[in-house]
Amino acid sequence: MEIDALINQIYSDKMNSICFDCGNENPVFVSINNGIFLCDQCATVHMSFPQGISIIENNDLYALSENDLKFLALGGNTRLNDFILDEFPKLENYAQKLLYKTRGLDYYRKRLYYYVNGGVEPKRPSQIVGCQLIPDNYYSHNNYIKKNEKRV
């Protein structure tokens, strides 16, 4: 897909103009593997997460790779919000520092990765399992997108 078409698709989600976590306007960062836009304060929290939970980049879309843009085009603030409300509504009440560490959000990241890169489609966890936290060292034992992995 052409870069401009991806960027247009990303901008078509009006919710991408606010921070997913706090609602501040004009977010300056993106979480690539979560496919969302974040303000500087919320991005700082994401940077403190264990490896693989949130890959933070500046939101200069023209500086991102085509693959990174696909994560944002297929994700986006609206899509993640709808996912939480439709598939794991109990997660709506989780604090920011816990939400992204749940098996439900891990499934979302894996599903987004599957949509962008193909491979094996992840299995959806049950409501109970989806609300459980993943261990902090989880991504060091799994071979899917990590902070320093090339995402071409």
Partner residues linked to 25 by β-bridges: 18
Determine the pLDDT at residue 17: 97
pLDDT greater at residue 144 or residue 27: 27
Kindly report the number of other CB atoms within 10 A of residue 6's CB atom: 21
pLDDT greater at residue 139 or residue 64: 64
* Whether the predicted pLDDT of 151 surpasses 90: no
Tokens for 28, please give them. Answer: 């300056």
Determine the pLDDT at residue 146: 46
Q: Judging by beta carbons within 10 Å of its beta carbon (0-12, 13-18, 19+), is residue 58 exposed, middle or buried?
A: exposed
pLDDT greater at residue 22 or residue 152: 22
Q: How far is CA 43 from CA 9, 28, 39, 53, 97, in A?
A: 22, 9, 6, 12, 11
User: The sheet that has 29-31: what strands, in order across it?
Assistant: 36-38, 29-31, 56-58
* Whether the predicted pLDDT of 140 surpasses 80: no
pLDDT tens digits for range 14-49: 999 999 999 999 999 999 999 999 999 999 999 999
pLDDT tens digits for range 71-117: 999 999 999 999 999 999 999 999 999 999 999 999 999 999 999 99
Task: Report the distance separating Cα 45 and Cα 47, nearest Å.
Answer: 5
Could you write out the three-class secondary structure of the chain? Answer: CCHHHHHHHHHHCHHHHECCCCCCECCCEEECCCCEEECHHHHHHHHCCCCCCCCEEECCHHHCCHHHHHHHHHCCHHHHHHHHHHHCHHHHHCCHHHHCCEHHHHHHHHHHHHHHHCCCCCCCCCHHHHCCECCCCHHHHCCCCCCCCCCC
Answer whether 39's CB lies under 8 Å from 19's CB.
yes
pTM: 0.90
* Whether the predicted pLDDT of 142 surpasses 60: no
